[in-house]
Amino acid sequence: MVKKRKIPLRKCVITAEMKPKKEMIRIVRDKEGNVSVDLTGKKNGRGAYISRDISVIKEAEKTEILKRHLQTNIDSTIYDQLKQLVDENDK
């Protein structure tokens, strides 16, 4: 009998939906306070997950939820990077 592997779920900070980790984008703040998009999902630091959806990213930018979640200012380039990631995946 083959044991079924458990799929790690993560919660989107905007929609509060639980989704497989692979379907989410992780934004991470390291010890120095640098915020980056973590494509590997393995970077050290405090992370927040966002759904791969352009409307969710725009909502995050508008409500500044990542700023509260990661307890630091989020540069607009992070949001640009997130939008670019989603655009590339939609093609």
Radius of gyration of the chain (CA): 14
Higher pLDDT, residue 91 or 4: 4
DSSP 18: E
Band (pLDDT 50/70/90 cuts) for residue 90 is low
**CA-based torsion, 65, 30, 37, 18: positive or negative:** negative
pLDDT of the residue at 91? 58
Q: What residues does each domain of the chain span?
A: 9-90
The confidence score (pLDDT) of residue 2 equals: 72
pLDDT in tens, 28-79: 999 999 999 998 889 999 999 999 999 999 999 999 999 999 999 999 999 9
Q: Span 9-90: which CATH code?
A: 3.30.1230.10
Count other Cβ atoms within 10 Å, centred on residue 66: 24
How much is the pTM?
Answer: 0.86
* pLDDT at residue 86 tops 90: no
CA-based nearest residue to 56, from 39, 33, 79: 79
